[in-house]
Chains A and B, each alone.
Chain A
Amino acid sequence: MTPLLAATASERAELLVFVVLAPLAVVTAVGMVLSRNAVYSALLLVVNFFCLAGFYVLLEAQFVAAVQVIVYAGAIMVLFLFVLMLLGVESQEALTETIKGQRPAAVLLSLGLLVAVVGALAAGVFDAAPASLATANEGGNVQAIGRILFTRYTFAFEIAGILLVVAAVGALVLGKRQP
């Protein structure tokens, strides 16, 4: 098979996966916001995170896709479900609006935000030539990320470690029953 034919085949596959995953991601996000039951919200969010992991694979970010599934869909969502079950699922959320007309205003404002961002996209602010990560991903995406993480971003990596330790200690202190 010639390289041209191979490229079009992979592009066809990318288009197919995108067409399937993009509506699914939007539908699960909307379902998460609209679902009455918080547990359904959490499970829909898990599906949404899996869709995003698929997009990361399409965008040649295999390492981030794996981290997305393991950390987000795995650890963080389990933590959410754990707290949901610990606090007890409230069957009825208060439906009275604290501020009058808040819900329509919220929908209107977020639609306005969407229009503004899409307008910026349409104006070609982010119009970039299609590029490839083939050279940057030389020898594997994970190896390349590791190289850059432990050379250029070593300091940020150490700070991230300190942040996680502080967060863990903070959660312990918050969770402790006050005497």
Chain B
Amino acid sequence: MRVGPGAYLLLSAILFAIGVAGVLIRRNAIVVFMCIELMLNAVNLSFITFAKTNGSLDGQVLAFFVMVVAAAEVVVGLGILVAIFRKRSSTSVDDVNLLKG
């Protein structure tokens, strides 16, 4: 018995769903960020699985670029988080409600 691409894709779907649930459930903005990272990694896993099934390296290069964009996103996102914390002394997403009608 060998591990086919389906097993990796299934695992990727499970990890993505866990990430979605985390973003919807958690209130701490830093943990929400971690869940977004989990989702990005789940998608990376399917990219690399598809790279293998297609016999080409384009999927791996795409996963590499996803990592670059994720790094940039984390840097700016955590910067915004620190700026919000200075103003409100809280990292809960519910406390950022200045624009609420």
Contacts and interface: CB of A to CB of B under 8 A. Distances in A.
B25 A114 contact: no
Interface in A106-130: 106-107, 109-111, 113-114, 117-118, 121, 126-130
Interface string B1-37: 1111111111101111111111011111011011101
A80 B29 CA distance: 11
B52 A131 contact: yes
Contacts of B63: 61, 64
B30 A164 contact: no
- Interface centre among B17, B60, B64, B83, by most A CB within 10 Å? B60
A145 B18 contact: no
Nearest to B38: A29
Contacts of B41: 48-49, 52, 72
Contacts of A153: 61, 65
Interface string A51-79: 01001101111011001100110011001
B22 A32 contact: yes
Contact of A132 (B14, B52, B68): B52
A102 B94 CA distance: 13
A174 B72 contact: no
Contacts, number: 233
Nearest to A98: B94
B81 A15 contact: no
B11 to A, nearest CB: 5
Contacts of B72: 163-164, 166-167
Interface of B: 1-11, 13-22, 24-28, 30-31, 33-35, 37-38, 41, 44-45, 48-58, 60-61, 63-65, 67-76, 78-83, 85-86, 90-92, 94
Given A55-B45, A76-B70, A175-B82, 15 more contacts: A15-B3, A26-B18, A52-B44, A61-B63, A64-B64, A79-B78, A87-B82, A113-B20, A129-B53, A144-B57, A167-B76, A168-B75, A170-B76, A171-B75, A174-B80
